[in-house]
Amino acid sequence: MIGLPKPRLRQARIVAVAAAGLLTASVLVAPPSSAQVTSQAPTAATNTIPGVDEIVSSPNIRLVTNLPKVAPLDATNSDLAFQGKYAFAGNYNGFVVYDVSRPSSPQVVSRVLCPGSQNDISVYGDLLFLSTDSSRSDDSCNSTAQGADVKESWEGIKIFDIRDKANPRYVKSVETACGSHTHTLVPGKDKKTVYVYVSSYSPRANFPDCQPPHDSISIIKVPVKTPTKAAVVATPNLFPDGGFEGSETGSATTGCHDITAYPSKDLAAGACMGDGILMDIRNREAPRVINRVRDTTNFAFWHSATFNNSGTKVVFTDELGGGGAATCNEEVGPNRGADAIYDITGRGDHRKMVFRSYFKIPRTNADTENCVAHNGSLIPVLGRDIMVQAWYQGGISVWDFTDSRNPKEIAFWERGPISNEQMIGGGSWSAYYYNGYIYSNDIAKGFDVLKLSDWRTWTAELVRYQELNVQTQPTYLGGW
């Protein structure tokens, strides 16, 4: 979510305990609770808008369970990460650790209070990383909102030790220019280091720690065994020419919104507001842009990227309206607020991204529903390119882009509008496939688990991940 424009000052709703010695966070351990399942009414895809909170879906996908949000983590839900039997769910007030060893009955292991939007989240071994992109009074978990025009204000990356999932321990912070809207983990080739590519944007002349032009990203080097030594080691300029200048319909490039890395192929794709870029990341501390594309006709805000498994395609999303507008309607049409599919042609530094087609969910949403292309992941299917994707109140879509020129939806699931009377933000922020199930972090409704049963995706059942951060793409089944 981009927030149009990104606020630099937010009122914290929850205050955690103060740091003492090593940085600490307030952890609440919740007793097991019975999951609530909303009744489901499978239907064919039509332009009939479901009623308030009514669930509709294609016959091949069903809701397994839902865990509603509870105080104090009842703020906006954000991204997801996975490790073993655990799911880690970001929230603007902190994060939740779930035990999903029984997907039909997830259990809350811990709730960590640490306010700071968006709390974009990822995990690596014993470490958990959180992005803070709201200007805070300090780097602790009991900070308060403070203007970015104050030099002492803080934004950046927080690092937790998660060896004890019931008691995550805050151990390190790293301040980064313009904060951290999102971040991407890139394992070092020595296996002793992990790099954090930090994406941020929206500089202003009166922000001491976020000065224009800000055409760069921040790269943090984290020694895995000694994370307290984590530090920024590079701030590569990705746009020496300043990037896209902006237009009436498209955002100017003042940094990147999100980067997806494909470490085994030494590739990364950056969704950078007004530009889509392809990078060579063989040198983890010095990524190189090898190709750049723009869409001045239909794209408003380059939001995120997903490679196919072979690394021969990349899907970019356009977050038209910043995630807070109704764009899945006839007025906006099928090519805006959509996905754009690019084939990657050529080799080495001669690789280029070639546009093939757009994909957008084929259902009309109400004008009171925020709906636009958002976070999704590949489903690890043998021989085909299929992904699941969140569309806020547009729900969850499973679609096949094996034929880059003719993508098609093969499954969908959605709730009806939160309200028929006024715009209330909600819906699926992230929808990811992990070890046989689809997990969704719904902004308003909580943590959803869904099951897809389709002959086209059965080979995904053969794949088991030990760890999954979607913006750090793994190769499955050896690639093809």
Query: Which region among 28-37, 350-359, 396-405, 419-428 has the lowest average model confidence (pLDDT)?
Result: 28-37
The per-residue pLDDT of the chain, averaged, comes to 92
d(CA 245, CA 174): 30
Partners of 369 in the beta sheet? Answer: none
Whether the per-residue pLDDT at 36 is higher than 80: the answer is no
Which of 295, 298, 376, 374 lies closest to 334, judged by CA?
A: 298
| Domain annotation covers residue 265 | yes
**Which position has the token pair 């995990």?**
123
Q: Report yes or no on 36 lying in a domain.
A: no
Q: H or E element: which one contains 94?
A: strand 94-99
Any idea what the Cα angle at residue 458 is, between residues 456 and 462, rounded to 5°? 140
**Do 205 and 331 have their domain in common?**
no
Reported as a single tens digit per residue, the pLDDT across 60-83 is: 999 999 999 999 999 999 999 999
Q: Give 363-396 pLDDT, tens digit per residue.
A: 999 999 999 999 999 999 999 999 999 999 999 9
| Structural domains of the chain, count | 2
How far does CA 272 lie from the centroid of its chain? 14
pLDDT at 322: 96
What pLDDT score was predicted for residue 134? 96
Residue finishing a domain among 174, 206, 235:
235
**Residue 1 pLDDT exceeds 90:** no
- What pLDDT, on a 0 to 100 scale, did the predictor assign at position 184? 98
CA 149 to chain centroid? 27
76 found inside a domain: no
The answer to whether residues 131 and 15 belong to one domain is yes
pLDDT at position 176 over 90: yes
The separation between CA 207 and the C-alpha centre of its own chain, rounded to angstroms, equals 26
Amino acid at 240: P
Q: Please indicate, yes or no, whether residues 52 and 201 belong to a single structural domain of this protein.
A: no
pLDDT at 37 > cutoff 60 = no
Over 80: is that where the pLDDT of 281 sits?
yes
Residue 48, pLDDT score: 87
Which phi and psi angles does 57 have, rounded to 5°?
A: -165, 170
Nearest to 414 by CA among 392, 387, 444: 392
**CA dist 112 → 107, 162, 185, 428 (Å):** 15, 11, 21, 21
The pairing of strands 127-136 and 154-161 is antiparallel
Locate the DSSP E strands across 321-369: 339-345, 352-359
- Nearest 5°: the CA angle 256, 309, 385 is 100
Residues 175 and 246 in one domain: no
Q: Tokens representing 431?
A: 């929808």
Q: pLDDT band at residue 276, thresholds of 50, 70 and 90?
A: very high
Q: Note whether 248 and 381 are same-domain residues.
A: yes
The tokens for 168 are 């995550």
What is the C-alpha to C-alpha distance for residues 379 and 473, in angstroms, rounded to an integer? 11
Query: End of a domain among 235, 260, 278?
Result: 235
User: How distant, in Å, are the alpha carbons of 27, 108, 129, 227 from that of 30?
Assistant: 10, 6, 22, 28
Q: How many residues are recorded in the chain?
A: 480
Same structural domain for residues 308 and 185? no
Pairing assessment for the beta strands 375-379 and 428-434 based on DSSP bridges: parallel
pLDDT on residue 26: 64
CA distance 427 to 91: 14
pLDDT of residue 477: 73
- Cβ-contact 415, 50 below 8 angstroms: yes
* Beta-carbon contacts of residue 41 (< 8 Å; ≥ 6 apart): 54, 55, 56, 57
Q: Is the C-alpha dihedral spanning 283, 288, 293, 298 positive or negative?
A: positive
Q: In what order do the strands lie in the sheet with 77-83?
A: 26-28, 107-113, 94-99, 86-91, 77-83, 467-468
Least trusted range by pLDDT, from 26-35, 71-80, 135-144? 26-35
Give domain status of residue 246, yes or no. yes
The answer on 368 and 251 residing in a single domain is yes
Fill in the amino acid letter for 329. N
| Residues 254 and 141 placed together within one structural domain of the fold | no
List all residues 6 or more positions away from 251 whose beta carbon is below 8 Å from its beta carbon.
244, 273, 274, 300, 301, 302
CATH number of the domain that 453 lies in?
2.130.10
Give the CA distances from residue 247 to residues 296, 301, 418, in Å, rounded to whole numbers and listed in that order: 8, 11, 33
Contact 200, 258 (CB under 8 A): no
**Position 150 in a domain:** yes
Residue ending a domain, among 235, 262, 281, is 235
Residue 155 maps to a domain: yes
Question: Residue 480 class from Cβ within 10 Å (0-12 exposed, 13-18 middle, 19+ buried)?
Answer: exposed
| Alpha helices (H) in 211-284, listed in sequence order | none
Which domain range does residue 379 map to?
Answer: 41-69+240-480
Residue 427 and residue 349 in one domain: yes
Query: Measured in whole angstroms, how far is the alpha carbon of residue 208 from the centre of its chain?
Result: 27
Question: Is residue 293 a part of any domain in this protein?
Answer: yes
What phi, psi does 73 have (nearest 5°)?
-95, 60
Does residue 24 sit in the same domain as residue 109?
Answer: yes
Mean pLDDT over residues 333-352, rounded?
Answer: 98
According to the model, what pLDDT value does residue 143 have? Answer: 97
Residues 339, 374: one domain? yes
Strands 127-136 and 118-124: antiparallel
Of the chain, the percentage scoring pLDDT greater than 90 comes to 89
Distance CA(404)–CA(315), nearest Å, equals 10
Same domain, 260 and 169: no
Strand spans (E) along 308-351: 313-318, 339-345
